[in-house]
Chains A and B, each alone.
Chain A
Amino acid sequence: MKKPDARGYFGEFGGRFVPEVLVGALDELERAIESAFADPAYWDEYHAVLRDFVGRPSPIYRCERYVADVSAVPLLMKREDTNHTGAHKINNTVGQALLARRMGKRRLLAETGAGQHGVATATVGAKFGLPVDVYMGARDVERQALNVHVMRLLGASVHSVTSGTQTLKDATNEAFRVWAERVEDTFYVIGSVVGAHPYPYLVRELQKIVGVEARRQVLDRYRRLPSDVVACVGGGSNAIGIFAGFADDPQVKLWGVEAGGEGGKSAASLGAGTIGVLHGSRSYLLQSADGQVLPTHSIGAGLDYPGVGPEHAFLKESGRAAYVSVTDAQALEAFGAFARSEGIVPALESAHAIAFARKLAAERRAGDLILVNLSGRGDKDLAR
């Protein structure tokens, strides 16, 4: 995958639509990324923390029974659910916290939807001794109470956001506003491949390890590349992470699975949205004809977001990746079926990818091989 252009665009998507007060901080971040990424010491520390603290590399696991009734094609799971804090999110927060420390920033700021990114940020904040403020929609504070407790236990301050739809979109607005005030000493840890340039590029580079590891593991074990790689897409960081390992292998089909929701309300920005600007970049967006951002719905709180990373918009337009959607009911069914047949409780977000993979497996032939990013574990979803 290429770097975005000098103005932060992947094709016609991306850019930097932010208030002037943030431009200096984004320029500073861009310079810091360039310097850190060119410094082997930065990557050495990143990989050491991922090995000793996060537990990487995460394994790949071949499913025993989930699709055995419909297909003989091997179905592999990249086990991001086995990471410390239970999801891929920590890969990104480790890298951003190391960057923050390098830049001399004294505090971390994060938005969170389901709370997974908030927990991952609170975790690295505790580890590196940086105070953390997490902004979370009031509705999410209520429906993800367990993660709120965990963040507080880790020493983070969790701020409930009561404006707008009181979910991830509004938490992100508030995080941007707070960052504008504290821009001099605070590092904003964005949780997905969204936001203004250079964030979509930064988060991709920090999640790329998922795809790089998975490609090596699949080749080692099966002596061939997967035919298909499948990941769920909200903002799109776990998908970009695993796609990045296979983007230069044109024979590998990339599938992004969006939240189809229920009853006409979804979070499928690429499937049901139009091109617009939200949170600093041009991408696909669920919006009214007037350009007002619409409320979304998904049973997977981490997918419940009206926008999507600009690089996904680019992959869709270029045809390199295909995007499909899975409804709440289908995801719930896969959640239970996968738990019973494999002994793994997936996150409801990941269950969207798992549901689609079963459909795909039924269509695939001998010799094919399907790889799914099992992006997180489902303990957080059991209370509901």
Chain B
Amino acid sequence: MIGRLAAAFERAKREARVAFVPYVMAGDPDLSTTQALLAELSATGADLIELGVPYSDPLADGPTIASAGARALANGTRLTDVLALVRECSAFCAPLLLFTYFNPVYQFGLERFAREAAGAGAAGAIVPDCALEESPALREALRERELEMPLLVAPSTTRERAARIAAAATGFVYVVSRLGVTGAGQRPDLAPLRAQLVMLRELTDKPLAVGFGLSRAAEIGEIAPLCDGVVVGSALIDAYGDSGGAQAARRVTEFVTPLIAAGRRDSAGRQAN
């Protein structure tokens, strides 16, 4: 059986484009804005959406996403609120992938998290501080509920280790574009990234989605031939800035439209670059 994440990549491939995967932080600046963003992004052409669960100590995130999480926590957003949001939105949205650190899931209970996320209609979860060796229990809990768990591969990951990560990942392999944390400030280093993607392509048939530091159509156009999807997070949060509601949704649409076009493999897409 093919999972919802893998299916989303399949569809994008059939339509001759890379999947577009935006990231939004739940509860920043408030849950109703997040709901508007999820609807807008789904309508604009997101193939799946990473939904951030706010956490007090986000080690893998740069200042943009860390601050968005701090704002969401300050207004009281909890994991149960994020799951309720998924329940409300999953019927009309692109597949939702929860992006959360390990400790909130651990306190919630791994099995309870899997059960409630599945019940709400989420497609899976990404847990950036749960590296391969610590992941079996959570992967198993999610698998039992038919949820997928993509794992990350970094520029510092060896080939042998990348093969094991790719084998254990479900849905897709999340390819970190450069050393460091999330954030639009520091550009990905395209030459080593290309080599990494070529290597990963030899190791696995699973979709490859590139993230960390992607914010420009030109970069997406350059790596599109070598991968199956692109993740854009911090730059998108910067794009809606301190606006909320409908205004945030409009700004996000303006921002993502050229990025989505850049991922198209047909002539129209190339012209849009």
A residues contacting B by CB (< 8 A) are: 7, 15-25, 163-164, 169-170, 173, 176-177, 180-184, 274, 276-280, 285, 287, 289-293
Q: Which of B133, B157, B158 has the most CB of A within 10 A?
A: B133
Determine whether B165 belongs to the interface, using a CB cutoff of 8 Å to chain A: yes
User: Which of B37-45, B60-68, B202-210 is found at the contact surface with chain A?
Assistant: B60-68
Question: In the docked arrangement, what's the CA distance between A336 and B22, Å?
Answer: 58
Check A290 against B180 for contact (C-beta < 8 Å).
Answer: no
Check B59 against A19 for contact (C-beta < 8 Å).
Answer: yes
Q: Which chain A residue lies CB-closest to B153?
A: A20
Question: In the docked arrangement, what's the CA distance between A24 and B158, Å?
Answer: 8
Residues of chain B in range 73-105 having any CB-CB distance to chain A below 8 Å = 73, 78-79, 102-105
Check B131 against A18 for contact (C-beta < 8 Å).
Answer: yes
What chain A residues lie within 8 Å of B217 (beta carbons)?
A: none
What chain B residues lie within 8 Å of A180 (beta carbons)?
A: 60, 179-181
Residues of chain B in range 116-170 having any CB-CB distance to chain A below 8 Å = 128-134, 151-158, 161, 165
Question: In the docked arrangement, what's the CA distance between A269 and B246, Å?
Answer: 44
Determine whether B23 belongs to the interface, using a CB cutoff of 8 Å to chain A: no
Q: Which chain B residue lies CB-closest to A276?
A: B103
Determine whether B235 belongs to the interface, using a CB cutoff of 8 Å to chain A: no
Check B107 against A20 for contact (C-beta < 8 Å).
Answer: no
- How many chain B residues touch A (Cβ–Cβ < 8 Å)? 43
Q: Which of A21, A176, A182, A276 has the most CB of B within 10 A?
A: A21
What are the nearest 7 A-B pairs in CB distance?
A291-B107, A181-B180, A21-B154, A291-B104, A24-B156, A19-B60, A291-B103
B residues contacting A by CB (< 8 A) are: 55-60, 62-63, 66-67, 70, 73, 78-79, 102-108, 128-134, 151-158, 161, 165, 176, 179-181, 186
What chain B residues lie within 8 Å of A274 (beta carbons)?
A: 107
What chain A residues lie within 8 Å of B133 (beta carbons)?
A: 7, 15-16
What chain B residues lie within 8 Å of A177 (beta carbons)?
A: 59, 62, 180-181
Pull 18 A–B residue pairs with CB atoms less than 8 Å apart, ordered by A: A15-B133, A15-B134, A16-B134, A19-B60, A20-B152, A20-B154, A20-B156, A20-B157, A177-B62, A180-B179, A180-B181, A181-B180, A183-B179, A287-B103, A291-B105, A292-B56, A292-B73, A293-B56
Q: With both chains docked as a complex, state the minimum distance between the C-beta of A373 and any C-beta of chain B, in angstroms.
A: 29
Q: With both chains docked as a complex, state the minimum distance between the C-beta of A282 and any C-beta of chain B, in angstroms.
A: 8
With A181-B180, A184-B179: A17-B131 Cβ-Cβ less than 8 Å: yes
| A-B interface pairs (CB < 8 A), number | 120
Check A18 against B129 for contact (C-beta < 8 Å).
Answer: yes
Q: Which chain B residue lies CB-closest to A277?
A: B103
With A19-B131, A292-B55: A164-B104 Cβ-Cβ less than 8 Å: no
Q: With both chains docked as a complex, state the minimum distance between the C-beta of B252 and any C-beta of chain A, in angstroms.
A: 25
Main secondary structure on A side of the interface with B: mixed
* 8 Å CB contact of B161 from A18, A23, A163: A23
Q: With both chains docked as a complex, state the minimum distance between the C-beta of B184 and any C-beta of chain A, in angstroms.
A: 15
Q: With both chains docked as a complex, state the minimum distance between the C-beta of A42 and any C-beta of chain B, in angstroms.
A: 25
Question: In the docked arrangement, what's the CA distance between A290 and B55, Å?
Answer: 9
Check B106 against A24 for contact (C-beta < 8 Å).
Answer: no
Q: Which chain B residue lies CB-closest to A176?
A: B59
What chain B residues lie within 8 Å of A169 (beta carbons)?
A: 57
Question: In the docked arrangement, what's the CA distance between A7 and B133, Å?
Answer: 8
Q: Which chain A residue lies CB-closest to B73?
A: A292
Q: With both chains docked as a complex, state the minimum distance between the C-beta of A203 and any C-beta of chain B, in angstroms.
A: 19
Check A18 against B153 for contact (C-beta < 8 Å).
Answer: no
Check A18 against B59 for contact (C-beta < 8 Å).
Answer: yes
What chain B residues lie within 8 Å of A184 (beta carbons)?
A: 156, 179
Question: In the docked arrangement, what's the CA distance between A21 and B156, Å?
Answer: 6
Question: In the docked arrangement, what's the CA distance between A274 and B129, Å?
Answer: 19
Q: Which of B56, B67, B131, B176 has the most CB of A within 10 A?
A: B56
Q: Which chain B residue lies CB-closest to A275?
A: B106
What chain A residues lie within 8 Å of B132 (beta carbons)?
A: 20, 23
Question: In the docked arrangement, what's the CA distance between A25 and B154, Å?
Answer: 12
What chain B residues lie within 8 Å of A16 (beta carbons)?
A: 131, 133-134
Check A19 against B128 for contact (C-beta < 8 Å).
Answer: yes
Q: Which chain B residue lies CB-closest to A295?
A: B56
Question: In the docked arrangement, what's the CA distance between A170 and B63, Å?
Answer: 12
Q: Which of A25, A164, A290 has the most CB of B within 10 A?
A: A290
Check A20 against B181 for contact (C-beta < 8 Å).
Answer: no
Q: With both chains docked as a complex, state the minimum distance between the C-beta of A377 and any C-beta of chain B, in angstroms.
A: 31
Q: Which chain A residue lies CB-closest to B151?
A: A20
Q: Which chain A residue lies CB-closest to B79?
A: A290
What chain A residues lie within 8 Å of B63 (beta carbons)?
A: 163
Check B134 against A276 for contact (C-beta < 8 Å).
Answer: no
* 8 Å CB contact of A181 from B66, B128, B131, B179: B179
What chain A residues lie within 8 Å of B108 (beta carbons)?
A: 290-291
* 8 Å CB contact of B56 from A18, A20, A23, A164: A164
Taking A24-B158, A180-B179, A278-B57 as known contacts, 17 extra A-B pairs with beta carbons closer than 8 A to each other, sorted by chain A number, are: A15-B133, A17-B102, A18-B59, A19-B131, A20-B165, A22-B156, A23-B132, A173-B57, A176-B59, A177-B180, A181-B180, A182-B179, A183-B179, A291-B108, A292-B55, A292-B56, A293-B57
Check B62 against A21 for contact (C-beta < 8 Å).
Answer: no
Check A290 against B107 for contact (C-beta < 8 Å).
Answer: yes
Q: Which of B105, B108, B133, B156 has the most CB of A within 10 A?
A: B156
